[in-house]
């Protein structure tokens, strides 16, 4: 494929493709094709988004060239004056955004943020109580092959089998029996509001720390459209690239001075070396964007769009786990539309029609994680493009045409055309 630029593409992106075209045509073609893929497909993966051109280009800036191990004012390399400034700016903005006293912006990812939080709060072998990944938790909350499941004693709470929602009374009883040192809330596939205050009272009743991993809902929390984990959680971890719409990366927050000191030590030198300062610069920009009133409107629209998409899917005969959504995502139980339908098939058919989703296990899923009976859908990326409640009906109809036809090639091709024209109506800025 030859590299192409597009009229909606920003000048720096066009310049990058031109720079690369003669320098490294193979990579230029791949980047160009990826830009084209993003421009012409509908992104419904709940954990993905489209960053602003400013955030995107900051990631490709001069700041990639530096080692800045340590923290502002205490680095292990010379030449760090601008890195100190940008890291302090990112920390200050993160604290303002989430209303807390401490931020560490160095974790390379959400999983890295969780490693640092575990190391700050626990000793190897300590008991942790969390929701398993099969019910919507995250692998870094205790999955056996992960560091968390390898070095700590993991105990589980689960969703109520009837409501498919958290049952705080049951969680309190399990905590009483297990006596964990750490309770984790915050999930990857839970469509409901989390009651952080209730979680803290459960943690207090057994003398446990409470960690809230708000990776999925961070943008909603920052915008005030989901309750904040502060002042309830002892430590809050998150990614910066999902609803928060920043660069890929992690972040640890706290209000507790002692925990904050430990977190800093456990990020560096505990679990990371040199921070990715180009990503820290991009985080600073994204936090500033999220502090603007327009981000509140965006986040409200993400939630409204999710509700509208959920309602339309139900009208097409799909059951939603837990009965609906209160945040940016929903889990669709495909079996209610068609008992043969699997998440793996649906994901593949939809991709051929230009709709990007991920198969996802549903609570008590009889199928394996590679097959699944569910699809996880989210609205952060579509909302960034400018699609609104009206368009969610169109999106639900497109989803249903593909899945209802069992991936029929002609139907997928026809839907692909409709997806392209919907994308043309809502162009990306880069
Ligand atoms: N992989 C992310 C998600 O899709 O939810 C979680 O880390």
* CB distance 110 to ligand 1 below 6 Å: yes
Q: Which pLDDT tens digit goes with each residue over 85-105?
A: 999 999 999 999 999 999 999
Tokens at 305, concatenated: 């769009």
Three state DSSP letters for 267-283: HCCCCCCCCCHHHHHHH
* CB distance 188 to ligand 1 below 6 Å: yes
| Ligand 1 centroid, distance to 151 Cα (angstroms) | 22
Distance CA 292, CA 289 (A): 6
Q: Give pTM, 2 decimals.
A: 0.97
Q: Which pLDDT tens digit goes with each residue over 314-345?
A: 999 999 999 999 999 999 999 998 899 999 99
Query: Cα–Cα distances in Å, from 129 out to 58, 124, 132?
Result: 38, 14, 9
With beta carbons less than 8 A apart as the criterion, state whether 371 and 361 touch: no
pLDDT value for 4: 58
Q: Which pLDDT tens digit goes with each residue over 137-167?
A: 999 999 999 999 999 999 999 999 999 999 9
pLDDT value for 6: 67
* CB distance 140 to ligand 1 below 6 Å: no
**How long a stretch of residues is the chain?**
430
Distance of CA 419 to the CA centre of its chain: 24
Give the number of other CB atoms < 10 A from CB of residue 336.
14
Of 87, 158, 164, 213, the catalytic one is 213
Q: What mean pLDDT is reported for the chain?
A: 97
Which of 46, 47, 113, 360 has the most ligand 1 atoms within 8 A of CB, as the residue to mutate?
47
Look at residues 127, 110, 302 and name the one whose alpha carbon lies nearest to residue 212.
Answer: 110
Distance CA 140, CA 144 (A): 9
Question: Please, which contacts does 115-118 make with residues 24 or more away whose CB atoms are closer than 8 Å?
Answer: 115/140, 115/147, 115/266, 115/271, 116/252, 116/263, 116/266, 116/267, 116/270, 116/271, 116/272, 117/211, 117/235, 117/237, 117/252, 117/263, 117/266, 118/147, 118/148, 118/151, 118/152, 118/182
Query: Cα–Cα distances in Å, from 221 out to 153, 196, 328?
Result: 30, 12, 11
């Amino acid at each position: 494929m030859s590299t192409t630029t597009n009229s909606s593409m920003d000048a720096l992106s066009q310049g990058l493709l031109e720079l690369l075209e003669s320098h490294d045509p193979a990579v230029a073609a791949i980047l160009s094709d990826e830009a084209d893929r993003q421009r012409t497909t509908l992104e419904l993966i709940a954990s993905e988004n489209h960053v602003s051109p400013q955030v995107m280009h900051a990631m490709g800036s001069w700041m990639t060239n530096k080692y800045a191990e340590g923290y502002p004012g205490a680095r292990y390399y010379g030449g760090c004056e601008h890195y100190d400034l940008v890291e302090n700016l990112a920390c200050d903005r993160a604290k303002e955004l989430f209303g807390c006293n401490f931020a560490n912006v160095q974790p390379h990812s959400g999983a890295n943020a969780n490693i640092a939080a575990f190391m700050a709060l626990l000793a190897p072998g300590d008991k942790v109580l969390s929701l398993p990944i099969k019910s919507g938790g995250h692998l870094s909350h205790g999955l056996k092959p992960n560091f968390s499941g390898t070095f700590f004693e993991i105990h589980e709470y689960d969703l109520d089998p009837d409501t498919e929602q958290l049952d705080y009374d049951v969680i309190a009883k399990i905590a009483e029996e297990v006596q964990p040192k750490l309770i984790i809330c915050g999930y990857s596939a839970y469509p409901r509001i989390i009651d952080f205050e209730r979680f803290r009272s459960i943690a207090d009743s057994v003398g446990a720390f409470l960690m809230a991993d708000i990776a999925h809902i961070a943008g909603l929390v920052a915008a005030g459209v989901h309750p904040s984990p502060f002042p309830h959680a002892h430590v809050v971890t998150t990614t910066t690239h999902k609803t928060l719409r920043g660069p890929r990366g992690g972040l640890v927050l706290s209000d507790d001075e002692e925990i904050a000191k430990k977190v800093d030590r456990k990020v560096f030198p505990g679990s990371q070396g040199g921070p990715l300062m180009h990503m820290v610069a991009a985080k600073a920009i994204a936090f500033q964007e999220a502090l603007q009133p327009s981000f509140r409107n965006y986040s409200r629209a993400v939630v409204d769009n999710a509700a509208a998409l959920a309602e339309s899917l139900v009208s097409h005969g799909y059951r939603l786990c837990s009965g609906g959504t209160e945040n940016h995502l929903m889990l669709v139980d495909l079996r209610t539309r068609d008992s043969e339908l699997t998440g793996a098939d649906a994901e593949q058919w939809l991709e051929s029609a230009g709709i990007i989703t991920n198969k996802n296990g549903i609570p008590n899923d009889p199928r394996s994680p590679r097959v699944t009976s569910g699809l996880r859908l989210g609205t952060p990326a579509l909302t960034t493009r400018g699609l609104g409640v009206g368009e969610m009906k169109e999106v639900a109809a497109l989803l249903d045409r593909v899945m209802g036809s069992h991936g029929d090639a002609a139907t997928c091709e026809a839907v692909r055309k409709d997806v392209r024209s919907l994308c043309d109506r809502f162009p990306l800025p880069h």
